[in-house]
Amino acid sequence: MAVSTLVPVLTLPQPIVLLPTARIQAFLDEPAGLKLVELVQRSDAQLVVGTVPCTSASEVYSWGTGARVVRVVRTVSRSSDKAFQVTLHGLSRLYYPDTQSSAPFNPNDLIELTAERPKPDGPPSQEAVATFRAAAAKLLDHLARDTNQQSRRDVYVKISHMLEEVSDDRTPWMADVIVAGINKLDYNDKLAYLSAAAVNDRLRRATELFVKQASISEVTKKIAQSIDETLSKQQKEFFLRQQLAAIQRELQALTRSSNQDAPGGIRPSGTSELDDPEQAEAEDMADIKHKIEAMAKDSEERKMAVREWKRFQRIPSGSVEHGVIRNYVRLVPLSLEWLTSIPWPSSSAYATATSSDKLRDRAFLENARKQLDEDHYGLEKIKKRLIEYLAVVRLKQLQAEREASQQPSTSHTHTVSGEASPQRTEGDATSRALALISHALNSRHAASAGVTGQTPKRGAASKAVKGPILLFVGPPGTGKTSLGQSIARALDRPFQRISLGGVRDEAEIRGHRRTYVASGPGSIVQALRKAGRPDPVILLDEIDKIGQSNFHGDPAAALLEVLDPEQNHSFNDHYINVPIDLSQVLFICTSNSLETISAPLLDRCEIVHLSGYTYDEKLHIARKFLLPKQLKANGLTPEHVVLTQPALLRIATHYTREAGVRSLERAIGAVVRHKAVEWAEYVDSSGNDDISRVPEQVVDGAGVTYKKVVEEHELEKILGIARWDEEEMHREERRGLVYGLVVTGMGEGGILPIETIAVPGGGHLKLTGSLGEVIKESGELALSWVKSHAYDLCITKLRSEDPLKVPDPIDIHLHLPSGAVKKDGPSAGIAMTCAFVSLLTGACVPTNVAMTGEITLRGRVGPVGGIKEKVLGAHRARITKVILPWANRKDVEHDVPPEIRAEMQFVFARTMDEVLEAAFGKGVLNWQRSMVVMESRL
């Protein structure tokens, strides 16, 4: 033995034993940890301490290990005995001659003991080395075969190679390595091996341990085999039931065939497609496998599907994860179902679905125009934009097909069977059934793939034009949703509608993660699955009513990726977790307004405005679409009900007041239902069975009459008193009264009287009528302009006089009727100015004149919005002269129908001088601007 030295020693509690070459972690209490930290700080090199197993409270083992302190950290545990954590790496054996003087001992304590390092002896004997190598190789082989983890199997194989290549002198070190790696050694066996300082003794003890562990492994394997043999009865029962089910299917097929030959072909009672769940399961699995095979090789979705298929075959059918994976993969058995049901653009199953024969037809654009005209009346600008898109789609499709035809097809079929054939356990009956199904499917799909052994070429549609993001903005009932359906019919694509109104969870768009209960994909992926093609028309309805950002996320922000043509080629749904190509999808959004839509989302959309219909357009729509639809819905024919043109016009003007045609359709439906009741009463009273032919007027003997023509004067009896009378058409010409143009909250245009009166006061302005801040400022601007030009308009005799205080102080009260309706905006500026001028000068504005425009302090007339709606409202109110800002000329030319422009006079003004001249007439107001005023200073 070498010279004894006093070393710091760490006591290890049972059953911890640190062997040379091993690494362990131990906890220390606060005092011991602080001592060790102090030793580490004082040491110049990496600290080496001794370790000794603490066999009891009064005694420690006489052998231990010298260990290098790798790391000492303070823990976050509140326990006092786990204040520090130390990591130790075993180096060599130590002998402690005196283990009684420091008693008693506490585990995980740092003490000082006298230690001696054993002197190295000679090389081991050849006999000990050979016996050790054989026992170690056998043990490593057992461990590699019994483990289920590939990483551990690889480690055992590497150690076996090292064992073969290591020299005889290094075999004791190799024995330490292998013994330290065995986790199931007994505590006393570890202590006995630790005390073996001589190399031959160490190899002998290691050999005994290896033989013991190999024997234990063999016994464990025999026990497992005997347990498997006891399960053979259950497996035998399973296969017998499978054979019984096959026999029942054959008998049912014979019964069905014999029943079809019988007269009537009545289905026998007790037979149903629900009676054979095994066959349905096999068919579902076959369909999933076929869809995986149809995916493009090396694509991300195929890799994910194959990986999930392998997992699905390994998991027992009764497992919870079995159902989760099944649901998932059907979209990429619920995991598999979802994964395979998505129409992947790269999949050969959808290669022909996207190449439509309609696009090759030379009459494609002509048929598209015809389709749009059949579905919608008017909307020429919108139809023009849609025809432009369809023309680009046709040209890009033809170009892509021409390029694809020039490239040779080099792709070959690749089946899933070679990729997804994991090893199945002998005891898994479900896996055996899946193996039989896969074998049958391989032969069937090999025959269906064709003799050439090549997959179909990926469709040319993968290079088709990217779908634009169209945003239809307009009032309710103007045909936004039906336009999307017409586009889908013109393109011969499937149509899917997603309602975004009230959606407040980001997962509704992007899907839930699969870790949550009842998780599923988002609405975009669900729409793709329902469409069955990668290029559908998807309508995102009511995008302006989507929920705002909250703790569920921001659904509007989730739409940014969907509606970006530069990003949606790799849309990521959280549930699918595979990039999905949305670039071929034609997205159409609808909205009633743009105020609630975020700016980044608006930037991604091409905005198409749908204004309200004119009365002429409403009459055409009612005659061509709404009346036939209501007649069919109520069991009548055009021979039963005839609506005269005056009656239809009165319904549109007096019983409805909207930009769209929904209320008009309801009113027409009420008229048709009233006539249906009359016709049913006549048929019942007369006993006439032939209800197809109807004369002009029918009177039976009991006095029951039926008249198929509906006149205008009958509407009050059918629909009641008109909701809107002709008050706005019966206008009076009076001082201080001017008619402005407004747009209502329903998107309907109209006229609004601006009333002003002068009352005794102190020169103040009073504004009433539920007015907003902007329109109040317009009134103050208008009065300021009139005051500054009061002398020019001959309202005052001096420029310094205030018209509201000279000759008598007065207040001006300005009121806008319909006080319950909130009003705001700058467009009433010139109308208020004309009202003040009329009140103070006494001149009246004719009742056939209406105006709109913003005013500035300099008297400039600024542009306003809603020109089409305002002009149509003025036309309905029989206004013949409209004063508009000069900057709105383009809106009149582009938006107002030609027949309306032909019936009205438009005056475009740049300044208030031009507005006053157009409103009051030339020469009505006496201007003093041209008069030269000379003032004597004598």
The SS3 call for residue 838 is: helix
Which are the contacts of 30, defined by CB distance < 8 A and separation ≥ 6? 80, 83, 84
Burial of 172 (0-12, 13-18, 19+ CB in 10 A): buried
Instruction: Determine the Cα–Cα distance for residues 52 and 488; give it in Å rounded to an integer.
Output: 81
**Nearest CA among 351, 452, 466, 444 for reference residue 410:** 452
- Give the three-state DSSP class for 711: coil
Question: Using omega within 30 degrees of 0 as the cis cutoff, is the peptide bond preceding 104 cis?
Answer: yes
Residue 334 CA to residue 320 CA, distance in Å, equals 11
* Cα gap 349→459, rounded to integer Å: 10
Number of H helices, E strands in the chain: 31, 26
CA-wise closest residue to 203 among 162, 243, 174: 174
Token pair 């590939």: residue = 150
Residues 6+ apart with CB under 8 A from 229: none
Choosing from 827, 838, 881, 890, the catalytic residue is 827
**Would you say 788 and 803 are in contact if contact means Cβ atoms under 8 Å apart?**
no
The tokens of 702 are what?
Answer: 């009991």
Peptide bond before 807: cis, by omega within 30 degrees of 0? yes
Contact partners, residue 409, CB within 8 Å, separation at least 6: 454, 457
Query: What are the backbone angles phi and psi of residue 469, rounded to the nearest 5°?
Result: -105, 100
Backbone angles phi, psi at 693, to 5 degrees: -100, 130
* Both structure tokens of 572: 């990521």
| 652's tokens | 């549109």
Q: Copy the structure tokens of residue 162.
A: 């090292």
- Distance CA(46)–CA(49), nearest Å, equals 10
How far apart, in whole angstroms, are the C-alpha atoms of residue 764 and residue 48? Answer: 97
Q: Look at the block and give the residue holding tokens 């290896």.
A: 210
Please give the biggest Cα pair distance in the chain: 146
Cβ atoms 464, 397 nearer than 8 A? yes
Phi/psi region, residue 868 (left: phi>0; alpha: psi -120 to 50; beta: rest), is alpha
Extract the tokens encoding 909: 């003004």
Alpha-carbon distance 33 to 85, whole Å? 8
Helices 300-314/429-448 angle, 10° precision = 140
For the chain, report the end-to-end CA distance as a whole number of angstroms. Answer: 138
- Is residue 870 part of the annotated active site? The answer reads yes
Within 8 A by CB and 6+ apart from 466, the residues are 565, 583, 584
- Cα 738 to the chain's mean position, in Å? 51
Amino acid at 283: E
Residues found in the chain = 938
Judge contact between 187 and 15, C-beta under 8 A: yes
Of 190, 480, 868, 870, which one is the catalytic site residue?
A: 870
Active site residues: 827, 870
